[in-house]
Amino acid sequence: MTDPEEERAKNAIEAALFVAGRPLDVETLGSVCKLRSREKTKKLSRAVAERYRRNGGAVEVVELPDERFVMRVKSEYAEMVRRVSARPLVTRGALRTLSLVALKQPLTQSQLVRMRGPQAYDHVKELTKGGLLKGVKVGRTLLLSTTAMFSDMFNLSRDPSSIKRQLQEMMERAASQKPGEREAPGPEGEGEGKVTEPE
């Protein structure tokens, strides 16, 4: 691969991460820049991440577990830009449902419906389809918990007890803010915490 070809492949990886707004695995990135070698794709993706690290701007490219990469706003800028984020991530009702599952996980779908009402069924479908929730069949219900993608998008630990602690700290910080300053907790990057539609 010549230098211009390598640069073009890195630019394609950067563009894919930008438009995706979510973590992408090495296979997906390789298909975008037409590379068959996973190792070469990883090397080029790491070079893109290093370029962003060296530039020191507000956006970063991060390598995640399971050979995935994500482009996101650095945490120190996330709060500042949350309200101008253009792309909805989930509906307001689904975001509340997701927060409840994250705080109470593992939680059965039947328990969730008792707490959130019948619209929780639709929220679970939306969140599962979006890769933020997973459900394991237990009897006639599902045992719900958050996914690795949830943790990565919201910059939280993958350990459920740590997630609970982190969310409680976020809620305490939000409660100490003046009215009108509060924003829904959201992921880093484009689409961060933006919610639409009523419950």
- pLDDT by residue for the chain (199 residues), tens only, comes to 788 889 999 999 999 999 888 889 999 999 998 898 999 999 999 999 999 999 999 999 999 888 999 998 888 887 777 667 655 567 788 888 998 999 999 999 999 999 999 999 999 998 998 889 999 999 999 999 999 888 887 778 888 888 888 888 877 877 776 555 444 444 444 344 433 444 4
Q: What angle do CA 104, 145, 189 make, to 5 degrees?
A: 100
| CA dist list (Å): 185 to 50, 60, 77, 104, 152 | 28, 19, 13, 17, 13
What architecture is domain 81-196? Orthogonal Bundle (1.10)
Name the pTM for this structure.
0.55
Domain range 3-73, CATH class? mainly alpha
Q: Is 4 exposed, middle or buried (0-12, 13-18, 19+ CB in 10 A)?
A: exposed
Extents of the domains making up the chain: 3-73, 81-196
